[in-house]
Structure 1
């Protein structure tokens, strides 16, 4: 096959392949776009999240068609990048620096103190960080913050879950907290639920809605009208919470990723 034809016809991969491509925007800037060839993709797709822009190509799409698609959507991509500027409070914690910490829809005062070991806990006047004489590494502080958020999230789940269990065919096998890139929750085939840790940064009613949403998948493993009737019966205000995620979701995810470094 001639060299030009080999370039224009995409090789069929057996797994997801990733690389990057440079794109010149209309304002003169040049940005790096992650290019992903995914066997599951059915069409060219351009998306953006807190990690940056991403171009997804199906198996048979050529690199040239992907670059043409990027060029045709430069204006859209530039507008989305402006919307996804880093949110306030996205930087990792700096010891002894006065600031606030996002928790349950509020910016809670962050208070520093000395102690024998690293500890982060919630008190009435704010979130207290206890630091040992030897300053902890950034990684240690990030792990402690993640453990704090996980404990707060599990406390919320522990308050809400018992009220919904009686109407389910079975209890979830487990509820796990993860840092998810796009989803807010998912139900695995074994009946375990994964929830995004960023939920505890937002308002509690939105967090509770996502929990109810995933619990309802134990009844209806789809998004059919029957599924939404189950959600409606348990959480009538679900539409308001879904709109909340449309407005605030990306900011919440970006703040968590920034704080955890």
Structure 2
């Protein structure tokens, strides 16, 4: 049993607190910003992705300082919101109406069929979708996600063996998930996580992210030594990084729209 003194001096960890603040931009638009007070945060931070804007505050920062920080960055925020605007040309996933789906940098033709259960398969003439007469939107999105995950794992399975030589170990496991900002990560236990949106874009960009994360098995940082390891295995990494800067946000937004994720 802890002593009374230990109980008194031990701090109860604070939890993350979230609320929403509304701000008017210079062009007159009004936007909602998620405000997050995080005890782990070291500084004020403003970020934005396809889900919206987020202001992170250290626990000791005042709300007034947060408001002042937002006002100082209104111009930057408006510019980033424009870059994250929904892609109006992106197809909505509607049974019988959607004609193409993005896959490996292409818009692949869709073929709709009636079937006993929901399934999606890639054939030479396009993507074939089999659906029962009555199918829920949840089942449809779950089936599409499973299709993309299977296609992504097929790509990883082709590339991974060629990069394992020279690594201290193989990844403990490889997970695919919808990531809001990152394209990949490597956990201390060796679990490698990749953004599912990668399978929508060009294969060389997907392969680069895989190599990038594998190199963290050698260097758990972004030091010059790390980038030398990337250079040895994937000399064209700069081209792919530039591609992500130009197309990455649109790619993530497209997957979110297809899967109808928040």
State the TM-score, normalizing by the size of structure 1: 0.92
Equivalent-residue separation in structure 2 for 1:188 and 1:155 (angstroms): 22
Q: Contact between 2:91 and 2:100, CA under 8 Å: does it hold in 1?
A: no
Query: What corresponds to 1:39 in structure 2?
Result: 39
Equivalent-residue separation in structure 1 for 2:190 and 2:89 (angstroms): 35
Identify if the C-alpha distance between structure 1 residues 127 and 105 changes in structure 2 by more than 3 Å, giving closer, same or farther. Answer: same
Q: Contact between 2:20 and 2:32, CA under 8 Å: does it hold in 1?
A: yes
Query: What corresponds to 1:79 in structure 2?
Result: 79
- Size of the aligned set, in residue pairs, is 249
Equivalent-residue separation in structure 2 for 1:214 and 1:184 (angstroms): 9
Are 1:126 and 2:126 counterparts?
yes
After superposition, residues 144-223 of structure 1 pair within 5 angstroms as 144-223=143-222
After superposition, residues 54-93 of structure 1 pair within 5 angstroms as 54-88=54-88, 90=90, 92-93=92-93
Q: Which runs of no fewer than 5 residues in structure 2 stay unpaired?
A: 1-11
1:133 Cα deviation after fit: 2.1
Identify if the C-alpha distance between structure 1 residues 13 and 74 changes in structure 2 by more than 3 Å, giving closer, same or farther. Answer: farther
Identify if the C-alpha distance between structure 1 residues 148 and 159 changes in structure 2 by more than 3 Å, giving closer, same or farther. Answer: same
1:13 Cα deviation after fit: 7.3
Are 1:256 and 2:255 counterparts?
yes
Two-structure CA RMSD over aligned residues (Å): 1.5
- Off by >4 Å, runs of 4+ in structure 1: 89-92
Query: What corresponds to 2:225 in structure 1?
Result: 226
Q: Contact between 2:219 and 2:226, CA under 8 Å: does it hold in 1?
A: yes
Q: For 1:193-226, what per-residue CA distance to the aligned partner results, in whole angstroms no more than 9, with x for missing partners?
A: 0011000011000100111111111111111111
Equivalent-residue separation in structure 2 for 1:216 and 1:72 (angstroms): 38
1:40 Cα deviation after fit: 2.2
Equivalent-residue separation in structure 2 for 1:98 and 1:146 (angstroms): 16
Q: Contact between 2:49 and 2:249, CA under 8 Å: does it hold in 1?
A: yes
Q: For 1:70-89, what per-residue CA distance to the aligned partner results, in whole angstroms no more than 9, with x for missing partners?
A: 12222221222122110145
SS class of match (1:167): coil
Identify if the C-alpha distance between structure 1 residues 89 and 122 changes in structure 2 by more than 3 Å, giving closer, same or farther. Answer: farther
